[in-house]
Amino acid sequence: MTTESRNLKVVTDVVCPFCGTLCDDIKVIMDGNRIVDTLNACVIGNEKFKSAQAGHRILAPMEREDNSAEFAPVSYDYAIERAAQILANARRPLMYGWSSTSCEAQAVGNELAEVCGAVTDNTASVCHGPSVMAIQTVGAPCCTLGEVKNRADLIIYWGCNPVHAHPRHMSRYTTYPRGFFTERGFKDRTMVVVDPRPTDTAKQADIHVQVEQGKDYELLDALRTVIRGEDIPDVVGGVKKEDIKALGDLCKSRKFGVLFFGMGVTQSIGKHRNIDIAISFVADMNKYTKFTLVAMRGHYNVTGSGQVMSWQSGFPFSMDFSRGYPRYNPGETAANDILQRQECDAALVIASDPGAHFPVSSMKYYAQIPTICIDPHETPTTGISKIVIPSTIVGVEEEGNAYRMDNVPIRCRKVCDAPEGILSDKEILERILARVKEIKAEKKGQ
């Protein structure tokens, strides 16, 4: 054993804070405070841990003048004071992100939004917002991923590609593991993929249903019809009648089916109506067998943000506090709506990167107004923000709660110390909130 290997220790039962699968069996090999490697994590999860100590961390708060591309380092006290002044003096600030931080930080953020009369939104508004809206409308027959592992003999992935987006989903919970009632693993299950493209997930499926792009609603409608024993046209959504009938018969013949759906359904034509009919299909199936559905949530704690917003204010995303009480109308109060209409006069982005995902026109407007970005790493969003405040990484350098895609809360562990002096998201938000309250009180007293 080398000198180095004598110092190694393994931290077990670590939760991976990357995707909504929230794998909780990760082992992290440490040399003192240095992350050497991980066991069990997928390539993306491994990189999440290792990149925590790679070069592109932000190690001090920074400020950029309006017309300058250069940032100057500033102190935390200064950055927090500037952030508080910007938010307290804005008429309609926007707060966006929240999906890659802890529930504890999200709770403080929601209070900050209320105190500032802000519009606050999480990343669901550009991914599974339609799912959340449909579930609010018609309810949802759900189950945990543990139940899927132990019971499900039919797995349907519709409009999602877990091989790339949730790499351990199939090996931990769905297609391959041996469960209590699925002792033979994949031999006890049938996997169906519904996708216009022959994705890497579709290549592993027993059946690939190649639906026409944007015709998910029609196909789900046809499935509901054949299940009831009624007739449908010869081809629906590019799929032949006999194939739709065979899929309907397969669904009815299984003991426990699960429909996993992704952004291929939520963000194609039909949006929340697609999920509405998917839920209705699953509800119909429960007349014949056990059937449930689960949304393939992306960011590791986007589900938690919806939960925390709902506990505190009654709505899961796109929440507008500008009238002094929470209002919710996605399409009017989502972050992108506000930026496109140039309605906000300041913005705070935390735990997400709209610079990499939002339309250019939205981010062009973002770059013109006073903005604060809280993030551990340099991102396209930090590059165009005015104040940048670095934070610790929850699940690596900080404990915190997060919700898995099936709404199971999981406590993320701390495995190493953050770079010296770096504050957590929660602490930064608490300090901004305290100062905003003081500034508002001073203004009221004038």
Applying CB under 6 A, the residues found at the interface with ligand SF4 are 16, 18-19, 21-23, 41-42, 44-45, 166-168
Closest to ligand SF4 by CB, 20 or 326: 20
- Determine the length of the chain: 446
d(CA 172, CA 247) in angstroms, rounded, equals 25
Of all residues in the shown chain, the one whose CB is closest to ligand SF4 is 45
Q: How far is the CB of 26 from ligand SF4 (least distance, A)?
A: 6
Closest to ligand SF4 by CB, 21 or 391: 21
Q: How far is the CB of 276 from ligand SF4 (least distance, A)?
A: 28
Closest to ligand SF4 by CB, 208 or 299: 299
Strands (E), 265-351: 290-295, 319-320, 327-328, 347-350
Closest to ligand SF4 by CB, 22 or 156: 22
Closest to ligand SF4 by CB, 369 or 412: 412
Q: How far is the CB of 16 from ligand SF4 (least distance, A)?
A: 3
CA proximity to 66, closest of 348, 360, 368, 361: 368
Closest to ligand SF4 by CB, 193 or 226: 193
Q: How far is the CB of 219 from ligand SF4 (least distance, A)?
A: 28
Closest to ligand SF4 by CB, 162 or 248: 162
Place of tokens 């994705």: 199
d(CA 218, CA 338) in angstroms, rounded, equals 32
Give, as one character, the DSSP assignment of residue 55.
T
Q: How far is the CB of 196 from ligand SF4 (least distance, A)?
A: 24
Q: How far is the CB of 87 from ligand SF4 (least distance, A)?
A: 32
Place of tokens 């796109």: 318
Of all helices (H) and strands (E), which one includes residue 444?
Answer: helix 425-445
CA proximity to 384, closest of 394, 401, 393, 372: 372
Q: How far is the CB of 20 from ligand SF4 (least distance, A)?
A: 7
Beta carbons within 10 angstroms of residue 59's beta carbon = 12
What is the token pair recorded at 202? 């579709």
Looking at the DSSP assignment, which residues form a beta bridge with residue 29?
A: 10, 37
d(CA 350, CA 18) in angstroms, rounded, equals 15
